[in-house]
Amino acid sequence: MLRKLTFLVGILFSLTIMQACNIEGDLPPENEVNLFGTAEEIPELSIFAEAVELALLSEPLGSLGPFTVFAPSNDAFRFLFSEVGVNNIRQVPPDVLQSLLLYHIVNGRLLSKNITEGELQTFLPETSLTISGSGNNIRINEDVSIVQRDIEATNGMIHMVDAVIFPPSNTIMEALENNGNTIFVQLLIASGLAETLANDGPFTVFAPSNTAFERYLEDNLITGTDFLESPLLQSILSYHVSEGILSSQSFTVGPLETITDIPFYFSEAINGNLWLNGIAGITGTNINADNGIIHVIDYVLTPPSENIRQFLANASTNDDPEFRLLIEAIQLAGLEEELEGGIDNNLTLFAPTDAAFENLLENLNMGSLNEIPANTLREILLYHIVPTRIFSQDLRDDEPLETLIEGASLIPDIGDQLINEARMLPEFLNSLTLNGVIHGIDTVLIPE
């Protein structure tokens, strides 16, 4: 029951955008008091009237309409209090109350004789009341009864009901299923995260589409079974979840904390599109759930586990090695410490490939990096490092990149994907590490 309350946080809706029409055949009301005033006059609706005031709905129910209100009795509210562990209506957050009460209000002045079986659209977005029975046997959502009917007001009708009515459950897990994120749902169940996303929150979930998972498996040359059995499964899925509710209107360039305590990063392309970690585009936004909000992305995010030096060292020793000469140069120049660090450090390294260093040595008529003076080699490498975390989408033609050499900048060319004269390599683009981002380039850059 508490989850049913917490899911409503943040969903606000204004009655002022909808004006109702009288049901044909209704007689003018004899009561000259509006809906809110009428509720205030009825002792058994005193908690409801207080809730309306706390939820800032007293003015709409006093001046707009006509509306039909299914108002829970005091006994109904007291039962709710006992279920959720509060003592009075003031302990329920006002925005929760507003959403909850909007689910009890429908358009028009409905006498009980005019209430027929079917759906009644409420003022809570995309939700309806289900009516069954008729006359003295009307049921709302199967188990809620009208205990006092046809209480007239100048701008509508009140029917007192014997329970607080909740809309159908729509947890994050259910919303993911309904949105077609079936692979993500299956993986969440397998990882043990499904229960958390069904019952706790609120959370913001960046959900990879089914196609995103298929691409990820293909790119990493693994099967679905391999991924399902991976010891990293839970950490990868958790990396797509952030605490709280973040709508797309609140997206900003920079880090967003996740429940793994490792952030992912928003970057903005020149066309205004936002990316996550430079690899995942956002294809769907603001899918509301009871306990949070969902955005759909087109690739799977992987939390970094290595710093820049570790990433390069591992890349230089894998089955298809790369950056061996860069690692050697870093060691010869004594830059290992500068390329270590954690999340609080932010660097961007434009990393020359082995072929780039081989071309440099050939142009210098040298046989190895040992022949380059250590200070010169250090200057060359510092010219490849920018003291901020930059993804390829963040680059702009008119914004030079200051390097770790004072007064020396790199010049991006977005159209040709160049840094100075070096081409950025798609296969080594936006490699995220704990302390920064690596972009592979095909040329060693020489400071002037």
Both 252 and 134 in a single domain?
Answer: no
What's the rounded mean pLDDT across residues 401-419? 96
Both 333 and 233 in a single domain?
Answer: no
Token pair of 173, please? 């897990």
Domain hosting 318: range is 308-441
Both 247 and 348 in a single domain?
Answer: no
Which of the listed residues 139, 161, 183 is the one where a domain comes to its end?
161
Residue 446 is assigned to a structural domain of this protein: no
Residue 143 is assigned to a structural domain of this protein: yes
User: Looking at per-residue confidence, does 290 or 442 come out higher?
Assistant: 442
What is the model's pLDDT at position 280? 98
pLDDT > 70 fraction of the chain, expressed in percent and rounded: 93
> What's the chain's average pLDDT?
91
> Which three-class secondary structure state does DSSP give residue 37?
helix
Which of the listed residues 114, 132, 161 is the one where a domain comes to its end?
161
Residue 166 is assigned to a structural domain of this protein: no
> Which three-class secondary structure state does DSSP give residue 378?
helix
pLDDT > 90 fraction of the chain, expressed in percent and rounded: 84
What is the model's pLDDT at position 120? 95
Q: Would the pLDDT of 317 be above 60?
A: yes
Q: Would the pLDDT of 381 be above 90?
A: yes
367/111 Cα distance (integer angstroms): 94
Does residue 407 come out as left (phi exceeding 0), alpha (psi in the -120 to 50 range) or beta?
A: left
What does the DSSP 8-state code read for residue 394? G
The predicted model scores a pTM of 0.73
Residue 48 is assigned to a structural domain of this protein: yes
Residue 447 is assigned to a structural domain of this protein: no
Q: Is the dihedral of CA 39, 44, 48, 54 positive or negative?
A: positive
Q: Would the pLDDT of 139 be above 50?
A: yes
Token pair of 265, please? 């990063």
Residue 85 is assigned to a structural domain of this protein: yes
Q: Is the dihedral of CA 77, 82, 83, 84 positive or negative?
A: positive
What's the rounded mean pLDDT across residues 237-242? 98
Residue 303 is assigned to a structural domain of this protein: no
Both 291 and 180 in a single domain?
Answer: yes
What is the model's pLDDT at position 24? 38
What is the model's pLDDT at position 12? 37
What is the model's pLDDT at position 3? 41
Both 314 and 401 in a single domain?
Answer: yes
What is the model's pLDDT at position 29? 56
What is the model's pLDDT at position 447? 95
Under the banding of pLDDT at 50, 70 and 90, the label for residue 15 is: very low
Residue 448 is assigned to a structural domain of this protein: no
Residue 405 φ then ψ, to 5°: -95, 120
What's the rounded mean pLDDT across residues 46-73? 95
Under the banding of pLDDT at 50, 70 and 90, the label for residue 290 is: confident
Q: What do you get for the CA distance between the two ends of the chain, in Å?
A: 68
Both 312 and 292 in a single domain?
Answer: no
Both 6 and 102 in a single domain?
Answer: yes
For the purposes of burial, counting CB atoms within 10 Å of the CB of 27, is it exposed (0-12), middle (13-18) or buried (19 or more)? exposed
Which of the listed residues 231, 262, 297 is the one where a domain comes to its end?
297
What is the model's pLDDT at position 84? 82
What is the model's pLDDT at position 30? 65
Both 320 and 390 in a single domain?
Answer: yes
The structural domain count of the chain equals 3
Q: Give the domain CATH number at 106.
A: 2.30.180.10
Both 94 and 183 in a single domain?
Answer: no
Both 8 and 146 in a single domain?
Answer: yes
What's the rounded mean pLDDT across residues 362-376? 96
Both 9 and 137 in a single domain?
Answer: yes
Task: Name the nearest CA neighbour of 68 among 9, 180, 149.
Answer: 149
CB 150 within 8 A of CB 157: yes
Under the banding of pLDDT at 50, 70 and 90, the label for residue 114 is: very high
What's the rounded mean pLDDT across residues 82-97? 88
Both 128 and 227 in a single domain?
Answer: no
